[in-house]
Structure 1
Amino acid sequence: MDRTPPHLSPEAYLADVFGSKLVRNGKVIRRSLRDVDRYFGRDAFVEEVYRRGFRAIENAGQIIIFCNAEPVRILRPKSAQHPVA
């Protein structure tokens, strides 16, 4: 369900995304690539994420944003024989 109104400006979209308590507390948020592309633009959004000192990954049409400067690691079982790209 899309809770973002279709008339939202790019500035209002950023305020909505980065104004949450989760962001202020250094937690993790998720946004759909479709919404990012529609309201702000993917390249500009990624620039904004990194400007804030955050990290982001993409998977299955979603951007997961780690709202802190901690390292992000992909966890794998020790038995994994082939590295995941």
Structure 2
Amino acid sequence: MARMAILPAHITPDRWLAQIFASQVAMRGGVVKRKIRYVERLVGRDVFVAAAARRGFQVVENHRHFVIFCNGKPIRRVR
């Protein structure tokens, strides 16, 4: 079993969420990707998804990543 890295004390769930959603990409309405296991370990899946939803963002899950669309535009699967 792999050991989880110890997180620095300055990284709190609230601070991490604030940084993700205040990034330049997010502020421009872009797309952000994060590993699911990292999100679950740091803030929890439900908290993360709820924080994105409060901002009107959509989150999709693919393989090992969450992909966050930092805008309210529709998502259409092309293939």
TM-score w.r.t. structure 1 length? 0.79
Unaligned runs of 5+ in 1: 77-85
What do you get for the CA RMSD once the two structures are aligned? 1.2
Which protein shows a greater Rg? Answer: 1
Give the equivalent residue in structure 1 for 2:3. none
Distance, in Å, in 1 between the alignment partners of 2:50 and 2:25 is 20
Is 1:49 matched up with 2:43?
Answer: no
- In 1, distance between residues paired with 2:14 and 2:54? 15
Deviates more, 1:7-16 or 1:47-56: 7-16
Provide the C-alpha distance between the structure 1 equivalents of 2:74 and 2:66, rounded to a whole number of angstroms.
17
Q: Alpha-carbon deviation of 1:16? A: 2.0
List, as ranges, runs of 4+ consecutive aligned residues in structure 1 with deviation greater than 6 Å.
Answer: none
Identity, % of aligned positions: 40
How many corresponding residue pairs? Answer: 72
Say which of 43, 65, 69 aligns to 1:62: 65
Query: Is 1:74 matched up with 2:77?
Result: yes
1:30 maps to what in 2? 33
Which structure 2 residue ranges, 5 or more long, are not aligned? 1-5
Q: Deviations over 1:3-62 (max 9, x none)?
A: xx8131111111221121000000001011011111100011001111100011001110
> Taking structure 2 as the reference length, what is the TM-score of the superposition?
0.85
